[in-house]
Every structure is written in structure tokens, then in C-alpha cells.
């Protein structure tokens, strides 16, 4: 059972407790009056064009748990003043209200409903409070239920800059006498000496005039082996050590990380912004308590498509392990692709200029609504023409009921299984857009064992030799025949190549049922009918000889010689008879290969 199925089963069996099941927005920012969003899967994604209310919705959700308020992110200013809004067209007996949210959550066997509303106070423009239930909003409780008590992790990745980047791109130049110039580079070099001491010794710098109670920096945090495992998995890196520290050493508060690989040490100044944001996300999620609410605003920022896919897998795994409720706003098809429709909410502008929410929309339909078109074509490579014709026959049988099967193209490579495994490596190098839509189907006799989930291995076992050993067990081919030789390539890059190959194999390499394609379609009765149709004498003797043959290719060769028909003609005849039966192999090909591909 895959992780999506496991999550869904756990959710349907009520094993996610202290869980927000819906949020209602009688009036919140520019979201359509009376909008309701249901949370029917542990991970929810909010999709929409810029400025359509996704971040506003995250902020509303963030304001639900005890200790939080929407005013932390939405507050009135002289330019953007928040006033009462007329909601009389939606709710009878109610004319105008201040910003309002109400939500349901499940705890134990009980369902609670909480109404939370901005209240005008002259000396406190940011005041919100829990109010009495309002039945015209759709609330059913008559009690003023308690707010949900739930830890919140909220990360807006558009603003998740490192301390170095915050100063370098947005800080002011300095003219301190002990710094030789007012160049930003000289200030960073000067303060960088302090940061180096923080990383090396754990020194804390006291803020002047704070009586030793306030510091420029927190103590550095050594990222754990588990944190490094997931960071490496998402980014395709091989960090062996990393330290994280939050500080004010570069003026504004921010984070710095010192990364260490087998041959390099470098900070966020040399790292990409994706390395920084992914590392902080992994650290915060892994350290979040069970049943936390994780809110992520555009986590795909600065991550390449494969890293986005691996980030999604990480979040799903953590949700399953720790009962996390996760809500993500995103523009990324790579992140969303593969999620069930129950997880997907689409924001779009309505005819009145507000923003409505469409629920339970497929990934492809969701991005079509916001103007993105998926490449729906899927490509399958097989060993020979017979395998191609078998797959095509199953597609033709089911395509009227499953139109998506029409988008599958099948090609064969006459080089056999070894050449197909080499093709897999070439496909991976073409990039995610190609590899995600290209599958390989190999004859069943080549199956030895499944590709492993190496992320479950002990970290010290993820070595080049161990990965090569596993690949040879699965494919029967030495790694030197699959991966191009490159004497200048680092071991770190070679390890990542093997990881990518194993990942691709686990998801995109399938096997036909039975050992040979010929065995799938073989039928003794059809064989006998072919002999009778050809007017062959001594049919019983020939059938006995064919039955004694163990190799199904040889069965077809004997039949071809005796009936004086080509093997291709016979195969086509057998396929026509086979596809109109209730053979278990037809169902196996549909369920285990085609359904998973589409």
C-alpha cells in the first residue's frame, strides 16, 4: 500500500485527532462571502493565480488555534483600512460584520465549532475574540466552544531569506570606524568573524545595555542525522554535517547554516536559497510536536522540480508518522501532481470580483483552471513487438471507459532488458519533464527483486558500493554498463546518480506478469484450432510435443513450423482470443501497470 493510500485509510478511520475539518469565511479579506473549505485529507494544497486569496486563507487558518490571531498577518492601516462589510445578501438578518472566521474541529468523539471575530476597540485595532455561535452562518452548536489547542508551524518561503541575503540585498551600508569602508562586503566580513566564532565555539554575543540578558545570537543547533537524511534526499546532496543558528549579527534577525560535505565547508553565503529554505523546513517539521498544524506558503520557491516532488513525499511521510495536518499554498504542478482530488482546492476570481474556492478538483483540472496545461502524453518502452501488442490490446479493451489510456504511446527497443535499463539512465538525464512521463515495461523473467527505498536504510549504508550492489541485484547488470564512465566525477555526484536511478526504477519500471510475453497469451485450445484450420495431420502428436516444451517461445516456433504460419500471425491471433477472455493477466496488466501510469 502506497503512502497516499495509507494516509487516506488512517484519515477515514478517524486516526487524525485534534484536526480542523473545515473553515468558513463569512468575511475575510477579498475571499467570497460565505466561503467554506473542507479538509478531507491530511495534506491540503491551495492552488490559484497570484493575488487570489491563497495566502489570506493560510493566515485565516493560522489564526484558528489558541494563542494565534489573524491580525498578526491582516491588520488595518491608514491606506488599507479594515471596516465592516455588508453581508446581507448571503446571511439573512445580518447586515454588516467585522472580519469573521468560524471553523470546526474534531477532538476525540466530539466536533467543536468556534466563531472568531474582529471586534472594534478604539485603543486596540487588532483585537479579535471568540464570539457566540451564529446559526445563520451555518453553525449548529449553541455553545461557545473552546478554540483548538494546536501547535502551529507557519513558513512563508517568499520571505524565508538567510541572514546573509537579508543584509546583502536589503540592509543599509555601515560607516563604523573599525570597518575600513562602508561596503556591504566589508561589513559582512567583519561580522562574519563573529559568526564563525558562534559556529566554532558556541559563543553568544551580548547586546550592549541589556545587562547581559539579551543576545545577538542563539546557540547553534547541530542538525541531526535524521534531519540531514531528509535534507539530502530532497536536495540530492550529501551533507555529513550542518549547524543552524538564528542571530542579529547582520542587523535584522535571520538564520545562518554551515554545511559540511566530505570535501567542502560553506555557509548560506555560498549555498543556494533552496538549500537554506529546505533545510529550515525539514528542521521545523521534524521538531514539530505530534498533531501540529503545518502551514507552508509557496515552499517550492528556489527548488527544482525533482526537489519539489521529494519535498511532497517528505511531508506526506511526516503527516503519516506524526498525525500532522498540513496546508500548502503553491503554484507548482510538480508538487501537486499525484495528490488525490480531496487534497486540492482551487482559488479563482468570481463574477463579483472576489475569490471563490473550488473543492475536490483533480490536479490536471486545477491547473487548467489557473491557465497551466499538463503534458498528458505518457510513453512506455518495451523489449519487443509482442510486449507492445499485448499492452496495446489491454489499452484498447479499456480506453472507452478510461479515456486517459488514449494518451499512452508504446515503443519497443530491440536491445532487450539490458538496453532498457541503460535507457532508464539516459531518460533520467533528460530531466523531470521527460522522466516523469516515460515508463519502462520489462518481461517478467527479468524480475529479481524490487527497487529499494534507500531512504529507509541506515544513513551510513548509503554508499556508492552499496547502491551499486543493490542495482546489480535488481537489474542483473553491473553499474559500469549502465552509467557512463567519468573519471572527473565526484563520488557525491555518482551516489546521486544511483539514487536517481533507484528512485526512477521504483516508480517507473514495471514488469509484465509471468515470465514470457508468449506465456501470457498462450492457450492450448487456440493452438489446436490453428492446427485444425491449417489442415495438419497427427494433431494429437504435435500437441503432445508442444505441451512437453517448457519455453513458450519454442511452443510458438513449433506451431509456426507445423501450421505454416508466421510467428507474428500466430501471436496476433492468440492476442485477439486472449483479450476477449477473463484472463487474470489482463487485470494484472491494467491494475499493476496501466492504472499506475495514468
User: Cα–Cα distance between 336 and 328 in angstroms, integer?
Assistant: 10
Same domain, 31 and 128: yes
Query: Among residues 308, 334, 369, which one ends one of the domains?
Result: 369
Same domain, 446 and 555: yes
Tell me, yes or no, whether 189 lies in a domain: yes
CB 459 within 8 A of CB 224: no
Tens-binned pLDDT, residue by residue, of the chain (598 aa) = 578 888 999 999 999 999 999 999 988 888 888 899 999 999 999 998 887 888 889 999 999 999 888 888 777 677 766 777 777 777 777 776 888 899 999 999 999 999 998 887 777 878 888 999 999 899 999 889 999 999 999 988 876 677 777 777 666 766 555 566 667 777 788 888 888 888 888 888 888 888 878 888 889 999 999 999 999 888 878 888 899 988 888 878 888 888 888 777 776 555 566 788 889 999 999 999 999 999 999 888 778 777 888 899 999 999 999 999 999 999 888 888 888 999 999 998 876 667 889 998 888 788 877 776 666 678 899 999 999 999 999 999 998 888 788 888 898 877 789 989 988 988 887 767 678 889 999 999 999 999 999 988 988 889 999 999 999 999 999 988 898 877 678 888 889 999 999 999 999 999 999 999 999 999 999 999 999 999 998 999 999 999 999 999 999 999 999 999 999 999 999 999 999 999 999 999 999 999 988 8
Query: Among residues 242, 270, 298, which one ends one of the domains?
Result: 270
Same domain, 264 and 396: no
User: Cα–Cα distance between 510 and 525 in angstroms, integer?
Assistant: 30
Same domain, 423 and 520: yes
Tell me, yes or no, whether 502 lies in a domain: no
Q: Name residue 255's beta-bridge partners.
A: 162, 246
Tell me, yes or no, whether 18 lies in a domain: yes
As for how many domains the chain has, the answer is: 3
Same domain, 144 and 241: no
Q: Name residue 114's beta-bridge partners.
A: 103
Same domain, 82 and 207: no
Same domain, 148 and 169: no
- Report in angstroms the alpha-carbon separations of 288 from 2, 19, 35, 152, 427: 24, 15, 30, 8, 38
Tell me, yes or no, whether 200 lies in a domain: yes
Tell me, yes or no, whether 47 lies in a domain: yes
Tell me, yes or no, whether 430 lies in a domain: yes
Beta 293-297 vs 325-330: how paired, if at all? parallel
Same domain, 437 and 550: yes
Query: Among residues 335, 369, 403, which one ends one of the domains?
Result: 369
Same domain, 436 and 583: yes
Same domain, 50 and 197: no
Tell me, yes or no, whether 548 lies in a domain: yes
pTM of full prediction above 0.75: no
Please write down the HEC assignment for all residues of 524-579.
Answer: HHHHHHHHHHCCCCCHHHHHHHHHHCCCHHHHHHHHHHHHCCCHHHHHHHHHHHHH
User: Cα–Cα distance between 10 and 41 in angstroms, integer?
Assistant: 10
pLDDT digits (tens, 9 = 90+) for 406-446: 888 898 877 789 989 988 988 887 767 678 889 999 999 99
Same domain, 356 and 398: no
Same domain, 37 and 126: yes
User: Cα–Cα distance between 579 and 595 in angstroms, integer?
Assistant: 17
Tell me, yes or no, whether 196 lies in a domain: yes
The range of the structural domain enclosing residue 351 comes to 3-155+323-369
CB 103 within 8 A of CB 25: no
Amino acid at each position: 500500500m502506497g503512502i497516499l493510500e495509507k494516509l487516506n485509510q488512517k484519515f477515514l478511520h478517524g486516526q487524525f485527532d485534534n484536526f480542523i475539518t473545515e473553515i468558513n469565511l463569512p468575511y475575510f479579506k477579498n475571499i467570497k462571502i460565505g466561503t467554506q473549505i473542507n479538509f478531507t485529507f491530511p495534506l491540503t494544497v491551495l492552488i490559484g493565480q497570484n493575488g487570489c486569496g491563497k495566502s489570506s486563507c493560510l493566515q485565516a487558518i493560522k489564526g484558528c488555534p489558541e494563542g494565534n490571531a489573524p491580525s498578526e498577518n491582516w491588520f488595518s492601516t491608514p491606506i488599507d483600512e479594515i471596516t465592516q462589510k455588508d453581508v446581507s445578501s448571503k446571511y439573512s438578518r445580518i447586515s454588516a460584520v467585522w472580519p469573521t472566521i468560524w471553523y470546526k474541529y474534531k477532538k476525540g468523539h466530539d466536533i467543536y465549532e468556534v466563531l472568531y471575530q474582529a471586534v472594534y476597540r478604539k485603543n486596540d485595532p487588532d483585537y479579535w475574540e471568540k464570539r457566540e455561535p451564529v446559526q445563520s452562518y451555518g453553525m449548529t452548536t449553541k455553545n461557545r466552544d473552546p478554540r483548538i489547542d494546536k501547535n502551529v508551524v507557519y513558513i512563508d518561503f517568499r520571505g524565508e531569506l538567510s541572514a546573509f541575503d537579508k543584509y546583502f540585498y536589503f540592509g543599509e551600508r555601515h560607516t563604523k570606524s573599525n570597518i575600513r569602508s562602508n561596503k556591504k562586503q566589508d561589513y559582512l566580513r567583519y561580522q562574519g568573524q563573529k559568526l564563525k566564532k558562534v559556529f566554532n565555539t558556541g559563543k553568544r554575543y551580548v547586546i550592549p545595555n541589556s545587562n547581559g540578558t539579551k543576545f545577538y545570537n542563539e546557540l547553534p543547533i547541530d542538525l541531526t542525522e535524521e534531519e540531514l537524511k531528509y535534507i539530502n534526499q530532497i536536495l540530492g546532496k550529501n551533507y555529513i554535517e550542518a549547524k543552524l543558528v538564528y542571530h542579529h549579527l547582520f542587523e535584522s534577525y535571520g538564520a545562518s547554516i554551515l554545511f559540511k560535505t566530505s570535501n567542502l565547508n560553506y555557509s548560506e553565503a555560498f549555498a543556494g536559497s533552496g538549500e537554506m529554505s529546505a533545510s529550515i523546513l525539514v528542521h521545523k517539521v521534524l521538531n514539530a510536536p505530534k498533531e501540529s498544524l503545518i502551514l507552508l506558503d509557496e515552499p517550492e520557491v528556489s527548488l527544482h522540480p525533482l526537489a519539489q516532488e521529494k519535498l511532497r513525499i517528505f511531508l506526506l511521510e511526516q503527516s503519516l508518522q506524526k498525525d500532522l495536518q498540513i496546508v500548502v499554498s503553491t503554484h507548482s504542478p510538480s508538487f501537486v501532481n499525484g495528490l488525490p482530488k480531496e487534497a486540492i482546492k482551487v482559488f479563482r476570481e468570481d463574477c463579483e470580483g472576489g475569490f471563490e474556492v473550488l473543492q475536490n478538483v483533480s490536479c490536471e483540472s486545477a491547473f487548467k483552471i489557473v491557465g497551466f496545461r499538463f503534458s498528458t502524453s505518457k510513453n512506455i518502452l518495451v523489449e519487443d513487438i509482442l510486449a507492445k501488442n499485448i499492452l496495446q490490446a489491454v489499452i484498447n479493451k479499456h480506453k472507452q471507459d478510461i479515456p486517459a489510456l488514449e494518451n499512452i504511446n508504446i515503443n519497443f527497443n530491440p536491445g532487450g532488458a539490458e538496453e532498457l535499463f541503460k535507457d532508464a539512465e539516459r531518460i533520467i538525464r533528460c530531466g523531470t519533464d521527460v522522466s516523469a512521463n516515460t515508463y519502462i515495461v520489462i518481461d517478467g523473467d527479468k524480475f529479481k527483486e524490487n527497487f529499494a527505498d534507500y531512504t529507509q536504510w541506515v544513513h551510513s549504508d548509503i554508499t556508492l558500493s552499496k547502491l551499486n550492489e543493490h542495482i546489480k541485484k535488481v537489474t542483473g547488470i553491473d553499474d559500469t554498463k549502465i552509467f557512463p564512465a567519468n573519471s572527473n566525477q565526484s563520488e557525491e555526484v555518482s551516489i546521486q546518480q544511483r539514487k536517481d536511478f533507484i528512485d526512477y526504477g521504483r516508480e517507473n519500471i514495471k514488469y509484465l506478469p509471468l515470465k514470457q510475453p508468449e506465456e501470457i497469451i498462450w492457450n492450448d485450445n487456440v493452438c489446436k484450432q490453428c492446427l485444425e484450420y491449417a489442415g495438419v495431420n497427427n494433431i494429437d502428436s504435435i500437441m503432445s510435443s508442444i505441451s512437453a516444451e517448457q519455453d513458450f517461445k519454442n511452443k510458438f516456433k513449433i506451431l509456426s513450423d507445423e501450421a505454416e504460419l508466421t510467428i507474428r500471425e500466430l501471436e496476433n491471433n492468440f492476442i485477439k482470443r486472449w483479450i476477449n477472455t477473463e484472463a487474470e493477466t489482463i487485470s494484472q496488466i491494467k491494475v499493476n501497470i496501466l492504472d499506475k501510469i495514468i
